[in-house]
Structure 1
Amino acid sequence: MADIAELTKQIATLAASPPANLTEEGRYGLYTAIVYETVAVRLGIDLKLFDIAVPAGRPLTVTELSEKADPHAQLVGAKNADGYESLHQGRSDAYAAKPLAGIYCADPPLREAVIHLSRAHFNTVTGISRTGQVDWFDFYPVEEKLKVASPSDILLVDVGGGVGHDVVAFQRKFPYLQGKLVFQDLPIVVEAAKDVPAGIESIGHEFFQQPVSVKRAKIYCMRTVLHDWPDKQARTIIKNTKDVMSEDSILFINENILLAQGISLYQAKLDIAMMACFSSLDRTEKQFKELLESEGFKSVGTHKPQVQIPRAGALLEFCLAE
């Protein structure tokens, strides 16, 4: 085992003079190596997952865990359990306690230490920049599929689009595409948008409704929107967007897409952050499709960048079901 003092010295040296050519893969590798585990363990303690799994002596399905812990099954979530190093995933929906999981059950002092130490501020990760990562329009066939009949038609509506950074980047890459570009967010957010280029419109409103002014757009895009909301609220957002769509409209869901099993610790942490902060979740592709299809949408396809790294995201394409 490496000397702790030497490892500390190496980390301090790296922090003081980070490599100029650090790749995104390398960056996330470093993050995963130092990721903070206490929050995940604290959630497992609060949900009594260790108290349930240890005495069971066998793998328990997510349904069994959720029934005994009494939160919604999605809050236990198979993918969330990947974040607990003391639980072992067998088949895709079952988990068993590892030998040391008992230290997080009732009575052992380490359990109380975790509760005490985890009172620090929780990093919601929602503010982590996606600078340097590819945008959906870098790997989607934009010129082939995104066309409108006239300049007065709406080409793209960015739902929950912040201060318009994605729309601005889209216009910069495809300045010759005709059609209006729109971004929406809360009025206080939209008001902070500065130097918005000509040809881009901002609309301040809550996305739990859609104004008639954006009816029949070609594209409605939601980038990292739905993972902030449980299914109930997500359905409202989806339904109200559906109400302004035409038969030729497309809905894009640009999100982190989790694997059904075997996700990275980094991705599990992001999912746990959504649960802890918003009672929500990062969804699997199956969960997204089931959610959208239950509201009258049909999956057209899933698009991914050529190089996949954590948080690179994917683009799920939907149209109205017939």
Structure 2
Amino acid sequence: MEALVDHVKTLAKSCDAKTRREILDQLQSLCHSIESPDDTVQRISFLNLQLAGLRIGADLKLFNILSESSSPLTIDQISKNTKENAVLLGIHRTLEHSYTLYQEVDKDAFTANNVCKTLATIGAQAAIHHYFDAMGPGIQELPDLLKDTQYADPEDITNTGIQRAWKTDLSLFLWFQEQPEELSHFQHYLTMNRSGRPIFLDVYPVLEKTETNMDPERALFVDVRGGTSHDIQEWKPWHKDFIQPQTAKGAKFYYMRNIMYDWPDDKCRLNLKHLIDAMGPDSFILIDEMVLPNSGVHWQMAQLDMLMMAVLAARERTHEQWSKLLESAGLKINNIYTYADTLKDSIIEAVPL
């Protein structure tokens, strides 16, 4: 068994990101295939407790303390740093250790592993706060919400789990504006999520698309997202509201990154029609989003799709759903450039029908 484990670790270290993800998926599938019924029930039933434990660990700076120590720490040493009762810490330790968040090297002595070091970062702790504090209550409301609406496809951004959980009439992003701490966690999480990942400029043929008909006075690139995009700061984009008429006319590119998945189809169509009105004869709409396969959707894609439904009455979209949405607005897919194979992050290049 040890030889097999060592072989898998060696293989994972030498492969690319796509192959590493495939190895992880196969190992997870193997694990599930040999579970007993009790194993399955135990694994699923305690998922909420796992995130709660992570939240406690983040509050106590437990992951930071272990990661910053040059040597293993005992329960008593950790207790002195966290000010947490040693008995309570022991219980929490047992919970966390069961999820292999750090490594036990001796009786009541622990050291950081790669998971612990990740959880010590600002971005990872922001993700824990974001999903436990802000999103968690909304997700908990999803079963009753769907039951009350007779399982209709959610389309109202002011009738989601968020409104029920937080007793508000505001849509999620308007609610965020009144919750600066939650908004800060969300922004730190997004920064971490994009760090080091490929970007659309890695694959999109910009030079080829701009070889002709480029008047120096013409707008080159319009960022429709309404916020700062880490990918395109060098383009000096105009920032426009999502569903307002587009005032920058005739630009070569109208770019949206991770916007459409935040909105139901009717709002997306409205925005796309505004862009069509602004386009020149050789303009392109560039939609930077995940393009889910029509079948065999990866579990990470699926859970993001379900989250969008729970808190925004929106969705991630398959290739087929993107085609239908664009056609309903008077557009067609001219090409799709996939720049991150793991989650199918892609540029959908759209032009009028």
Q: Following TM superposition, by how much is the alpha carbon of 1:74 offset from its aligned partner in structure 2, in angstroms? A: 6.3
Q: Following TM superposition, by how much is the alpha carbon of 1:275 offset from its aligned partner in structure 2, in angstroms? A: 1.3
| Change in 2 beyond 3 A, CA 1:319/1:287 | same
| Change in 2 beyond 3 A, CA 1:43/1:157 | same
Contact 1:229 1:281 in 2 (8 A): yes
Give the counterpart of 1:259 among 293, 310, 321: 293
- Show the counterpart of 2:222: 157
1:174-223 CA distance string (max 9 Å, x none): xxxxxxx53314xxxxxxxxxxxxxxxxxxxx2322343x1011111111
The alignment partner of 1:128 has SS state of helix
Structure 1 length-normalised TM:
0.55
Give the counterpart of 1:45 among 143, 154, 158: 143
- Show the counterpart of 2:239: 184
Q: Does 1:309 align with 2:342?
A: yes
Q: For the residues of structure 2 that align with 1:183 and 1:41, how far apart are their CA atoms?
A: 35
Contact 1:164 1:183 in 2 (8 A): no
Contact 1:271 1:282 in 2 (8 A): yes
Q: For the residues of structure 1 that align with 2:285 and 2:346, how far apart are their CA atoms?
A: 13
- Show the counterpart of 2:150: 70
The alignment partner of 1:242 has SS state of helix
| Change in 2 beyond 3 A, CA 1:320/1:131 | same
The alignment partner of 2:143 has SS state of helix
| Change in 2 beyond 3 A, CA 1:48/1:71 | closer
Contact 1:160 1:183 in 2 (8 A): no
Give the counterpart of 2:305 among 254, 268, 271: 271
The alignment partner of 1:254 has SS state of strand
Structure 2 length-normalised TM:
0.51
Q: One-letter code of the match for 1:234?
A: C
Give the counterpart of 1:131 among 191, 195, 211: 195
1:65-96 CA distance string (max 9 Å, x none): xxx96233467xxxxxxxxxxxxxxxxxxxxx
Percent identity of paired positions between Structure 1 and Structure 2 = 28
1:238-294 CA distance string (max 9 Å, x none): 111111112211111110122233322222221122112211111111111111111
Q: For the residues of structure 2 that align with 1:317 and 1:308, how far apart are their CA atoms?
A: 17
Question: What count of residue pairs does the alignment treat as equivalent?
Answer: 212
Contact 1:247 1:320 in 2 (8 A): no
Q: Following TM superposition, by how much is the alpha carbon of 1:163 offset from its aligned partner in structure 2, in angstroms? A: 2.4
1:32-76 CA distance string (max 9 Å, x none): xxx99x889846632568xxxxxxxxxxxxxxxxxx96233467x
The alignment partner of 2:197 has SS state of coil
Q: For the residues of structure 2 that align with 1:251 and 1:48, how far apart are their CA atoms?
A: 34
Contact 1:230 1:280 in 2 (8 A): yes
| Change in 2 beyond 3 A, CA 1:8/1:159 | closer
| Change in 2 beyond 3 A, CA 1:159/1:246 | same
Root mean square deviation, CA, Å:
3.8
Q: For the residues of structure 2 that align with 1:287 and 1:229, how far apart are their CA atoms?
A: 14
- Show the counterpart of 2:113: 13
Q: One-letter code of the match for 2:341?
A: Q
Q: For the residues of structure 2 that align with 1:8 and 1:135, how far apart are their CA atoms?
A: 30
The answer for unaligned runs of 5 or more in structure 1 is 20-26, 50-67, 76-120, 172-180, 186-205
Q: For the residues of structure 1 that align with 2:137 and 2:297, how far apart are their CA atoms?
A: 18
Q: One-letter code of the match for 1:165?
A: H
Q: One-letter code of the match for 2:238?
A: F
1:115-165 CA distance string (max 9 Å, x none): xxxxxx9xx978523121111121011111134422111111111151253
Question: Relative to total residues, which structure has the larger helix share, 1 or 2?
Answer: 2
Q: For the residues of structure 2 that align with 1:168 and 1:280, how far apart are their CA atoms?
A: 27
- Show the counterpart of 1:249: 283
Q: For the residues of structure 1 that align with 2:255 and 2:264, how far apart are their CA atoms?
A: 19
- Show the counterpart of 2:10: none
